[in-house]
Amino acid sequence: MRILVLGHTGYLGRHVAAQLGALQGVRLFGGGRSPDADLHVDLATADAGRLAENLSDLSPDAVVNCAGSLGADPVTDAEVNARGPAVLCAALLRAAPTARLVHLGSAAEYGSCEPGVPVAEDAPTRPAASYGATKLAGTVAVASSGLDAVVLRVGNPVGPGAAPKSLPGGTALRLRRAGRDRDAVVRFGDLSAHRDFVDVRDLARAVAAATAAGPLPRILNIGGGRAVPIRELVRGLVAVAGFRGRIEEAGAGSSRSAGVAWQCSDISAARNALGWEPRFTLADSLAALWASTGAPGKADPVA
Distance CA 37, CA 139 (A): 25
108 DSSP 8-state letter: G
Coil, strand, or helix at residue 71?
Answer: coil
Spell out a b/e string for 195-211, using b for 16 or more CB atoms within 10 Å of the CB, else e.
Answer: bbbbbbbbbbbbbbbbb
Rounded distance, CA 171 to CA 188, Å? 9
148-154 and 219-222: which strand pairing? parallel
Active-site residues, by number, are 131
- Residue pair 8/67 in contact (Cβ under 8 Å)? The answer is no
Spatial distance between the Cα atoms of 28 and 19, rounded to a whole number of angstroms: 10
Burial group, residue 37, by CB count within 10 angstroms (0-12, 13-18, 19+): middle
Residue 141, strand partner residues: none
In this structure, the number of other CB atoms found within 10 A of the CB of residue 135 comes to 30
Q: How far apart are CA 145 and CA 53, in angstroms?
A: 19
Q: What is the DSSP letter of 109?
A: G
CB-based contact 239:283 (threshold 8 Å): no
Under 8 Å between Cβ of 79 and 44: yes
Residue 193, classed as helix, strand or coil, is coil
Q: Taking the CB of residue 50, how many other CB atoms lie within 10 A of it?
A: 11
